[in-house]
Structure 1
């Protein structure tokens, strides 16, 4: 799949962009751009599709994305307000040799390493959130040093989660509308029973062809993608309610407790009850 190629506008007197995107400008479909992206979600929540990663995003979350990594932050409800402070920059905006300085080794590794999707956690997230809020108001030399300090903090911290690594695209632009259609359909219907026959017909492909097509582009099977959407929904229910876990199982698109429990532990590495306890302890 070749996502929409987005052109990032950078002012003539700046070497990078830092601005707030708020509904309706927050809404973009599956897209990519050559610039690196550092994004702080300031309003809204929903599903993040980043390379081969599928997960929830919430207000306060921060993601660092490498250039040409396709992504989509889709709101949980179309009437919700979505907003984010977003920094866009190219690796070259400092010049050809600046990042080769030994003092910038960790930043260079962050920008050139295999981990092209990162989520920030804990104290690092709080620090970078303050940095980005301040950065949006800065200009000139102070803006450069602020961005450099933020990248250094990320590159030297252990409070990160690698969400996608070594992701690359293999398809042509004409397949973009097909995958958009599959994403849209899945995000609207994942709590219902979906068959391969349905999605293959939507893609106007045979079932074997569709399975190969999806695996080639998203680096996982369609049913793995669907399970991640459902488990993500279950996580939101576990966080936001005190509902019985068995009820959450059935309200997340599953009709078997055993299957739900197995899939949850496979994806989250803990049981649903352990996940809830961990979240409550953090909160």
Structure 2
């Protein structure tokens, strides 16, 4: 599944069951999570290593065994370090259609009157045996193919009840009104970069879209995404390059040009910076993994 823009619009899961599971390691094109947003809910579980999650204007350090919950509509991204992690992304409609509308707690979460605690560390999860068991059961169900909608929906309902029973929520932590205008401006910038990554992008153009001075724009952009505009643009370019390396027979120079790099040497150097390997090494490794069917099916692009 590829994103058409930085707001994810794709349908998820199977017909009538909008949920998808993803496994990500260093060979996944989206291993380094480009800041984006969608109208779905998301759970991120760290299997190994370290992951810095950028959620709106707050950064969280995650490690093995930690869980993150991402509400709908919030800009989020992340930096992985020797990390393997899993994501479950699902539409609120999945729950809305299954007798949740009469659940007062769910309605408050759905309408942003309450926020589920965004980060639960491994040590905290250990305190809640029922929560941990339900979480493990949920991930065991979504890893299987084909998906079992009834079992997964039951796990999600149980997990939500565990949040409520253990009081793992607060009054809206991420106020919809707080900084809404500025956040919407940055969303427009992210969309512009996603659409024009293969062309020259200037700081002046991005600042103009955000209706901010270049200096203030740079500061706010980094506050919200955890990256400078230049770093973010390069990450998007390298992500697109990974997809091209997997999908077609273009040579390195052609892929570099397709991603907005005019020099193959600079492209290779930048690629190594973000993937810790050369484009050629990445292509050979992913081809080998696919041939040996060593990559879980859902490791392919979101």
TM-score (norm 1): 0.55
Q: Is the 8 A contact 2:116 2:169 kept in 1?
A: no
The CA deviation at 1:30 is 0.5
> CA 1:94/1:73 → structure 2, altered by over 3 Å: closer, same or farther?
same
Write out per-residue CA displacement over residues 7-28 of structure 1, whole angstroms, 9 at most, x where no aligned residue: 4552334513242321214333
Which whole-Å CA distance do the structure 2 matches of 1:30 and 1:165 have between them? 17
Which whole-Å CA distance do the structure 1 matches of 2:97 and 2:16 have between them? 17
The CA deviation at 1:5 is 1.3
Which whole-Å CA distance do the structure 1 matches of 2:161 and 2:213 have between them? 45
Q: Is the 8 A contact 1:16 1:87 kept in 2?
A: no
> CA 1:110/1:70 → structure 2, altered by over 3 Å: closer, same or farther?
same
Which whole-Å CA distance do the structure 2 matches of 1:178 and 1:55 have between them? 26
User: Which of 54, 63, 72 is the aligned partner of 1:67?
Assistant: 72
Write out per-residue CA displacement over residues 26-77 of structure 1, whole angstroms, 9 at most, x where no aligned residue: 333011111111221222213110112112111211111111111112113x
Number of the residue aligned with 1:93: 94
The CA deviation at 1:128 is 4.6
> What are the equivalent positions in structure 2 for 1:178-257 lying under 5 Å apart?
209-210=213-214, 212-213=216-217
> CA 1:128/1:71 → structure 2, altered by over 3 Å: closer, same or farther?
farther
Partner-residue secondary structure (3-state), 1:44: strand
> What are the equivalent positions in structure 2 for 1:254-273 lying under 5 Å apart?
none
Number of the residue aligned with 2:161: 152
Partner-residue secondary structure (3-state), 1:48: strand
Number of the residue aligned with 1:15: 17
Length, aligned pairs only: 195
Which whole-Å CA distance do the structure 1 matches of 2:36 and 2:141 have between them? 25
Q: Is the 8 A contact 1:119 1:163 kept in 2?
A: no
Number of the residue aligned with 1:108: 107
Which whole-Å CA distance do the structure 2 matches of 1:173 and 1:150 have between them? 30
Q: Is the 8 A contact 1:66 1:117 kept in 2?
A: no
Q: Is the 8 A contact 1:170 1:217 kept in 2?
A: no
**RMSD after superposition:** 4.0
The CA deviation at 1:179 is 9.4
Write out per-residue CA displacement over residues 228-263 of structure 1, whole angstroms, 9 at most, x where no aligned residue: xxxxxxxxxxxxxxxxxxxxxxxxxxxxxxxxxxxx
Number of the residue aligned with 1:141: 150
Which whole-Å CA distance do the structure 1 matches of 2:71 and 2:17 have between them? 17
Whether 1:46 aligns to 2:22 is no
The CA deviation at 1:177 is 8.1
Which whole-Å CA distance do the structure 2 matches of 1:177 and 1:7 have between them? 12
In the alignment, structure 2 segments of 5+ residues that lack a partner are: 195-202, 229-302
TM-score (norm 2): 0.52
The CA deviation at 1:162 is 8.4
> CA 1:145/1:173 → structure 2, altered by over 3 Å: closer, same or farther?
closer
Write out per-residue CA displacement over residues 251-277 of structure 1, whole angstroms, 9 at most, x where no aligned residue: xxxxxxxxxxxxxxxxxxxxxxxxxxx
Number of the residue aligned with 2:7: 5
> CA 1:131/1:26 → structure 2, altered by over 3 Å: closer, same or farther?
farther
Which whole-Å CA distance do the structure 1 matches of 2:10 and 2:166 have between them? 28
